Amino acid sequence: MRPAALAGVFALLAAPAYAGASIGIGPPLPEVESPVDERLFPPGPERAFILENCQGCHTLNLVARSGGDFEGWSSRLVRMIRAGAPITRAQIPSLAAYLAKAFPERPRPQPAKP
């Protein structure tokens, strides 16, 4: 093998596995969430339940970033039960009331003006 061809083979072997890495672009990094401040969850029996049970499928940050009224939280809780969450239907009213008070519906952003 000629030296120029051999150098080309070595250059390919030494190239980064991700093609964009050679220009400083890497693969997307997984989203890293900071620990949730548990003080965002007001005292109450529902708080303990949420802190103990609601991290099996999602983070507490997701709960804290969400917002909704009683009906919205109730609907979400029903969907979670269908997905296997350890919530009984009897717990929905108290959990939905707690979450609606702690994390109320947020105003929707105004559409951008053209």
- Does domain 53-102 fall under CATH 2.60.40? My reply is no
For position 39, what pLDDT does the model report?
A: 86
Q: How many angstroms separate the most distant Cα atoms in the chain? A: 78
Domain residue extents for the chain: 53-102
For position 18, what pLDDT does the model report?
A: 43
* C-alpha–C-alpha distance, residues 69 and 104, integer Å: 6
* C-alpha–C-alpha distance, residues 63 and 12, integer Å: 47
- 3-class DSSP state for residue 29? coil
Mean pLDDT per block of 10 residues along the chain (114 residues) reads 54 47 53 73 94 88 92 96 94 97 89 82
Contact (CB, 8 A) for 46 and 95? yes
